[in-house]
Chains A and B, each alone.
Chain A
Amino acid sequence: MKRVVYLVMVIAMLASLGAAALAGCAPKPTPVPATQAPQPTQAPTQAPTQPPKPTDTPVPAQPTPAPAKTVEIEFWYGLGGKLGEVVQDFIKRFNESQTEVHVTGVVMPDYQTTLEKLQAAIAAKKPPAIALISGARVHDLMNAQVLKPLDEMIAAEPDFNPQDIVPAFYKFATWEDGKLYALPLYGTTQVLYYRKDFFEELGISPDMLNTWEDLAEAARKCTKVEGGEVVRWGWEPMWGYPNLMDAVFSRGGKLFSDDGKKVLINDEIWVDTWEQFRKWIHEEKIMRIHYGGEGWAYWYDTIDDVMQGRACGYTGSSGDQGDLDFSIIAGHIQPGWKNPPHPPAPVAQGQYVVFPLYVDDAQTKAALKFYKFFTSTDMTAEWSTRTGYLPVRLSAQQSPKLIEAAKTTMPAIMVPAEQTKYASPLPVDPTGGKITDALTKAADKVEIEGIPAKKALDEAAAEAQAALDEYWASKK
Chain B
Amino acid sequence: MATETAVSAVRYKKGLGNVKHTAARALMHLVLIVSSLLVAFPFIWMLTRSLMTAEELKRSRFTLIPSVLQWSNYVEFWHAEPLFPRYFLNSAIMAFGVLILQLIVAMLAAYAFTFVNFPGRNALFFVAISTLMIPVVITYIPSYIILSSMPMWLRVCWSILLGIAGMATIWIVLRFLDTIFSGLAGRERPWVSVLWRVVLVIGVGAVWAVRALPALRAGAEAPVFAQLSTLALAFLVYDLGITVAEQFPPSTWQAVGKALWRWAWLLGILAYIAYRVPHWLGENWLDTYQGLIIPSAVSSFGIFLFRQGFMGLPKELLDAAKIDGADHLRILTQIVMPLSKPLLVTFVIFDLVQYYSSYFWPLLITNSPTMRVLTIGLQIFFIEKGYYGIRWHLIMAANTAAVAPLLILFFLGQRWFVEGVATTGLKG
Contacts and interface: CB of A to CB of B under 8 A. Distances in A.
Contacts of A81: 383-384, 387-388
A24 B274 contact: yes
A16 B144 contact: no
Interface string A117-156: 1001101111000000000000000000000000000000
Given A25-B156, A80-B383, A308-B58, A33 B389 contact: no
Contacts of B267: 12-13, 16
Interface string B136-158: 00001100110111001101110
Given A16-B267, A20-B270, A80-B383, A124 B148 contact: yes
A225 interface: no
Interface residues of A, number: 55
Contacts of A25: 152-153, 156
Contact of A297 (B216, B222, B263, B389): B389
Nearest to A294: B382
B383 A33 contact: no
B307 to A, nearest CB: 23
Given A293-B389, A296-B388, A33 B276 contact: yes
Interface in B199-222: 216-217, 219-222
Interface string A290-308: 0001111101110010001
Interface stretch (A106-114, A253-261, A263-271, A276-284): A106-114
Interface stretch (B123-131, B190-198, B360-368): B360-368
Contacts of B216: 35-36
A296 B379 CA distance: 11
B367 A37 contact: no
Given A5-B259, A81-B388, A106-B367, A126 B156 contact: no
B145 A300 contact: no
Nearest to B369: A107
B46 interface: no
Contact of B220 (A36, A297, A299): A36
Interface in A287-345: 293-297, 299-301, 304, 308, 323
Contacts of A473: none
Contacts of B389: 293-294, 297, 300-301
Given A17-B274, A23-B275, A74-B367, A12 B148 contact: no
A355 to B, nearest CB: 18
A252 interface: no
Candidate in B222, B273, B274 with the most chain A CB atoms within 10 angstroms: B274
Contacts of A52: 220
B390 interface: yes
B171 to A, nearest CB: 16
A161 interface: no
Interface string B271-288: 111111011000010100
Contacts of B388: 80-81, 295-297, 299-300
A126 B148 contact: yes
A9 interface: yes
Contacts of B156: 17, 20-21, 24-25
Q: Would you call the interface of chain B mostly helix, strand, loop, or mixed?
A: helix
A33 B216 CA distance: 11
Nearest to A5: B259
- Sort chain B's interface into a size bin: 35 or more
A84 interface: yes
A248 to B, nearest CB: 28
Contact of B363 (A31, A117, A124): A117
A35 B388 CA distance: 54
A23 B274 contact: yes
Contact of B144 (A74, A109, A123, A300): A123
A36 B152 contact: no
A36 B364 contact: no
Contacts of A98: none
Contacts of B103: none
A7 interface: no
B275 A20 contact: yes
Nearest to A31: B279
Best-buried of B219, B275, B379 by chain A (most CB within 10 Å): B275
Contact of B380 (A13, A76, A107): A107
B160 interface: yes
Nearest to B217: A37
A321 B233 CA distance: 62
Contacts of B141: 120, 123
Given A32-B220, A126-B284, A301-B389, A24 B278 contact: yes
Interface string A333-376: 00000000000000000000000000000000000000000000
Nearest to B328: A6
Interface string B372-390: 0000000110111001111
Nearest to A120: B144
A21 B380 contact: no
A30 interface: yes
Contacts of B279: 30-31
A12 B144 CA distance: 34
B378 to A, nearest CB: 10
Interface string B152-174: 11011101100000000000000
B379 A109 contact: yes
A394 interface: no
Interface string A19-47: 11101110010111111110100100000
A17 B160 contact: yes
Given A21-B274, A109-B379, A36 B145 contact: no
B382 A20 contact: no
B135 to A, nearest CB: 17
Contact of A23 (B271, B364, B380): B271
A79 to B, nearest CB: 8
A124 B387 contact: no
A300 B58 CA distance: 13
Contacts of A80: 380, 383-384, 387-388
B383 A126 contact: no
A9 B263 contact: yes
8 contacts: A16-B274, A20-B156, A20-B273, A36-B216, A37-B217, A296-B383, A300-B390, A301-B389
Across the A-B interface, give the 5 residue pairs with the lowest CB-CB distance, nearest first. Answer: A20-B274, A80-B383, A124-B148, A300-B388, A24-B156
